[in-house]
Structure 1
Amino acid sequence: MEPTPRRKRRTRRRNVIIASALTTTLTLSGAAAWAADRYLVQHVEIDDVAAYEAENSPVTVDDGADDTGDDEESTETVLTDTSYTSGETSVEISTVVEGSGDSTVTYYVAEVTLGDATALRSAFANNQFGENITDLTSSIAEENDAVFAINGDYYGFRDTGIVIRNGVVYRDEPARTGLVFYTDGSVEVYDETATSADELVAAGAWNTLSFGPAIVEDGAVVDGIEDVEVDTNFGNHSIQGDQPRTAVGVIDDNHLVFVVVDGRQSGYSEGVTLTELADIFVDLGATTAYNLDGGGSSTMFFDGEVVNSPSNGGERATSDILYIAG
């Protein structure tokens, strides 16, 4: 019996297998290249944010101090290990430890009173705006002479949302529930898809955050927050379970509270669920609270140091911060 036809069939089969493997490799390489471009490669849209804001901001920034000049005590700056006061702007840092053993939760609270709403500012990594531009929270804070800072919403991970910072519009791609800080000191949760960045600025918007979800509204825990997905694209779909957290709460106009919860560290802090995070804010007297980027990004900075213990064993780079200048 002639073996040649059988060898030919085997050769064809091998060729098909090799071609299939090559096609799969090329497809995976293409997907990897796309993912790298989308989530790793920096895409700079504005190269000098400071100059851009100086040219476009409708508001003259106030550092929160009383400028009457007649009362020396009103303009005095006082800094301690856990507090900062300058004029009518103040920051008070406290540490809370609850539970024991593997159920221990450790979190940090910054109660902030603003002499003027514009004393709460935002800054971008490397003084640039775009996608995948990152730096450590502490580095961004130091570059902007911040006495207090927390990580922001990691706007640079996504290409959607309304991004207004320091009164200037950077992005207008409505997608989710956002949080807006106004120049009159008020703060509210809003539906991005029901407005525009220009309309918000016209109404006095100073900063917006696009992450979520809102976890406290009208002084009560919001129903259904455990089922929310922040993003529908690759990565960061789920924010459920016990996690390190960063969030901002509103007690009253110009009276805010920031919370950073450590997590993923057995015996020190396991983290909290969104509902447990909401409960913390209700106990602090917040009428509104909004979840920000968490996990390894959760960082609180005060007086030149990171005060919490980030879950990665050190800070994870992020794209933006909220801060108060010293």
Structure 2
Amino acid sequence: MTPVDVVLIGRNEGARLVAALESVQGQARHIVYVDSGSHDDSVAEARKIGATVVELDMSTPFTAARARNAGFDALDDPQLVMFIDGDCLLVDGFIDAGRRHLEAHPKVGMVTGWRSEIHRDASVYNQLCDWEWHRPAGIIDACGGDMLVRAAAWSGVGGMDPTVIAAEDDEFCTRLRKAGWVLERIPADMTQHDANMMRFGQWWSRAVRTGHGFAQVGHLHPEYFAKERKRVLVYGLALPLILLASFALAWWLPLILIGAYEFNYIRTAQGLIREGLPKSEAWRHALLLTLSKFPNLIGMAKFHLRRLRGDEMRLIEYK
């Protein structure tokens, strides 16, 4: 049976980290916790359960990719590595299911499963996260940071790019696919996540970070996030500019352009309903998804300004 190690990353997660550490005990050969400048008892709690602790030098800008790379590098003879975040609980049985799948399919370089929100109905923002996590099982292009990876696949592509501050997992998965590996989501519960996103401002910051990811990963892999970038440019930039200009042309023209947003909103809600969301949730989620093009645009602009100025790519936090 192929041994599995766990790399868990976090910063000031408090009780969430304690629960995460407890959830992985007994499910892995070796546990590495990578701490990114915590001011709470995170390091002490990790050492208490016997985890190897890596404390990142915070004089270098933190990214989740950098933390995961450091965790992998701290492992001794890794073969299969489960990466999870410090605000997640590992579901019993996923590692065994993922290991069996990888052992049976040598061309599969990484498997993921289903992530869900612990407090799904605490806010519409948590609900939206929960919907984002639950994608169909099967062959995939990319996934989030919770994943079970072959060490050979990880090392073969050089791990994650530490300069990518958002969607670093998408960027890593893209390089895995280009290297010839198959990626799969198996039909199994994997982790439970605690987004703890209760305020509009948190959601907005997260959407800005998402836009940064669209631009940065798209800059590295132009074919990836192409549709997402196009939608942002159309609804977040082009239509607002045309709308402003239309006021000088005819009083009725702005109404038609505003109707384009309404049409997009209705179409988005109907799509969510077809995917199985209750109608009441679908209409609320569609409003946020329609509005998200504006913070996404800010994030895209932020990346390109940083790139042109040669600035460091610093994390955009929402918690």
TM-score normalised per structure 1: 0.27
Higher RCO (CA 8 Å, separation ≥ 6 residues): 1
Compare the two structures and name the one with the higher helix fraction: 2
Question: Which of 1 and 2 has greater Rg?
Answer: 1
TM-score normalised per structure 2: 0.27
